[in-house]
Amino acid sequence: MTMNRLFLWLLAVTYAAFGLLFVLAPEVLAQAFTGASPQTPSGLIDMRATYGGLNLAAGVAMALCALRTGYLQAGIALGAIMTAGLAVGRSYGMLMDGQANSYMVIFLAIEIATIGIAGLLLRSSPETT
């Protein structure tokens, strides 16, 4: 298994697992990661859709890309772009909203590392690997 494929599978599984967990138990995860959870049915529905469904769909899309050699670069790019979006939003939140808990700092560090690795893989690999 190539480094590109391995990395893409790691992204796919991470996004899909995170998404599935948020579909199934948004209150538990929100409370654990942020110290609060939505207090209305609509808040929970939106959390299931946004944190759950969107991440699950991204994970499935990345997994499909990992299955086809011709789509590895696109899958890694998708993962990098989505992770960059998370990092930008999280960084902006930290600047605007004040002190972040340790989960937010750890997530940001992982996001930055993921973007860096994805960038290196995209630069160093031919388009067809």
Domain boundaries, the chain: 3-124
Angle at 60 between CA 109 and CA 68, to 5 degrees: 100
Q: Average of pLDDT values for 89-93?
A: 98
Quickly state the pLDDT bin for 129 (edges 50, 70, 90).
very low
Of 65, 95, 99, give the one whose Cα is nearest residue 82: 65
**What amino acid is encoded at 122 in this protein?**
L
Residue 88 pLDDT greater than 60, yes or no: yes
- Reduced to 3 states (helix: H, G, I; strand: E, B; else coil), residue 126 is coil
CA–CA gap between residue 95 and residue 91 (Å, rounded): 6
Kindly state the average pLDDT of the residues 31-48: 95
Which residues, including other chains, have CB under 8 Å from residue 6's CB and lie 6 or more apart? none
Mean pLDDT score, 37-54? 96
pTM for this model (two decimals): 0.91
